């Protein structure tokens, strides 16, 4: 497919469990973003990669959140010791150019995480 | 602190009429604004954008207006169609920034 894909689409975790969410950006896209969207809210920025370099992780809510993009393509967002407040839709987006504000971000369908 | 606000959570419009969705922002450093459309179980899809050097941008049935002094932008859809029914997010960014700041969204329902 030509778009951004994310897996799994739905994840239910017990409190305290670790989870890993995967993002496959559009091929050749340099920039990759992770957003968290809580129920009834807009997406909120978590972290940004330019190729394999994580240039901004200012939005990560705690040190339980970790993201990587080791080869500059697929990215994984890992949440350790999940808490109920982590329940949200996690959106991944990619764009063609680095840090170009005028460059459209293409979003994946998201992973809905529910922590019981 | 919400830097981008959409104060109307929902809007219903008759098919063929104009839909007007509003957005306010607080950060005067924002210089690029976007509207995204989101269907259920899908990610947001880019709709239209405007740079702060303009006050209007038009693309087919969609027009975005920017009032910098009021820190306000609006999206006009005319004529509205049932397929336009979705959640619309306003987003903003500033030059050199990595991320977009989103509003909370407005659910538009176009009634046939």
A-chain CB neighbours of B94 within 8 Å are 101
Mean pLDDT of B63-74: 97
Distance of CA A108 to the CA centre of its chain: 9
Mean pLDDT of B3-8: 95
Higher pLDDT, A106 or B1: A106
| Residue of A99, A106, A107 with shortest CB distance to B98 | A99
Q: How many Å apart are CA B96 and CA B112, to the nearest integer?
A: 43
Per-residue pLDDT tens digits for A55-73: 999 999 999 999 999 999 9
The three state secondary structure string of chain A is CCCCEEECCEEEECCCCCEEEEEECCCCCCEEEEEEECCCCCCEEEEEEECCEEEECCCCCCCCEEEECCCCCCEEEEECCCCHHHCEEEEEEEECCCCCCCCCCEECCCEEEEEC
Residue B39: predicted pLDDT: 94
Per-residue pLDDT tens digits for A5-58: 999 999 999 999 999 999 999 999 999 999 999 998 999 999 999 999 999 999
Residue in B43, B35, B47, B48 with CA at minimum distance from that of residue B100: B35
Structure tokens at B79: 């004529």
Whether residue A101 is predicted with pLDDT greater than 60 in this model: the reply is no
Mean pLDDT of B4-13: 96
Structure tokens at A92: 């991944």
Nearest residue on chain A to B44, alpha-carbon basis: A107
A-chain CB neighbours of B4 within 8 Å are 42
Determine the residue among A7, A41, A43 to mutate to test chain B binding: the one whose Cβ has the most chain B Cβ atoms within 10 Å: A43
Q: What is residue B82's DSSP assignment?
A: G
Size of interface A-B (CB pairs under 8 A): 59
- Kindly list the strands in the beta sheet with A75-79, ordered across the sheet, starting from the edge strand earlier in the chain: A5-7, A19-24, A75-79, A65-68
Nearest residue on chain B to A9, alpha-carbon basis: B41
Whether residue A99 is predicted with pLDDT greater than 80 in this model: the reply is no
Whether residue A1 is predicted with pLDDT greater than 60 in this model: the reply is no
Residue A81: predicted pLDDT: 97
Q: How many Å apart are CA A72 and CA A69, to the nearest integer?
A: 5
In chain B, which among 21-80 make CB contacts under 8 A with chain A?
31-32, 36, 41-46, 49, 51
In chain A, which among 37-96 make CB contacts under 8 A with chain B?
40-45, 48, 55-56, 59, 91, 93
Residue found under tokens 């950006």: A25
A-chain CB neighbours of B46 within 8 Å are 104-106
Instruction: Give percent of chain B above pLDDT 70.
Output: 100
Q: What is residue B87's DSSP assignment?
A: E
Question: Which residues lie closer than 8 Å to B105 by C-beta, 6 or more apart?
Answer: A42, B6, B9, B38, B87, B88, B89
Determine the residue among A42, A44, A69 to mutate to test chain B binding: the one whose Cβ has the most chain B Cβ atoms within 10 Å: A42
B89 CB within 8 Å of a chain A CB? yes
Q: How many Å apart are CA B64 and CA A53, to the nearest integer?
A: 35
| Residue of B6, B43, B93 with shortest CB distance to A110 | B43
């Amino acid at each position: 497919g030509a778009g951004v894909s994310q897996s799994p689409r739905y994840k239910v975790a017990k409190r305290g469990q670790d989870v890993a969410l995967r993002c496959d950006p559009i091929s050749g896209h340099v920039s990759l973003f992770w957003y968290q969207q809580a129920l009834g809210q807009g997406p909120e920025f978590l972290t940004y990669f330019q190729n394999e370099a994580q240039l901004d992780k200012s939005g990560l809510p705690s040190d339980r959140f970790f993201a990587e993009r080791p080869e500059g393509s697929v990215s994984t967002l890992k949440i350790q010791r999940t808490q109920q407040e982590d329940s949200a839709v996690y959106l991944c987006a990619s764009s063609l150019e680095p840090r170009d504000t005028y460059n459209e971000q293409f979003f994946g369908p998201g992973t809905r995480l529910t922590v019981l | 602190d919400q830097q981008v606000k959409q104060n109307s959570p929902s809007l219903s419009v008759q098919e063929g009429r104009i839909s007007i969705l509003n957005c306010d922002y607080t950060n005067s450093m924002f210089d690029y604004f976007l509207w995204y459309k989101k269907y259920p179980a899908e990610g947001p899809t880019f709709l239209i954008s405007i740079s702060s050097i303009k006050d209007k941008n038009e693309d087919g049935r969609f027009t975005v207006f920017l009032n910098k002094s009021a820190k306000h932008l609006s999206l006009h859809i005319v004529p509205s169609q049932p397929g336009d029914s979705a959640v619309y997010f306003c987003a903003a960014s500033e030059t050199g920034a990595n991320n977009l700041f989103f509003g909370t969204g407005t659910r538009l329902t176009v009634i046939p």
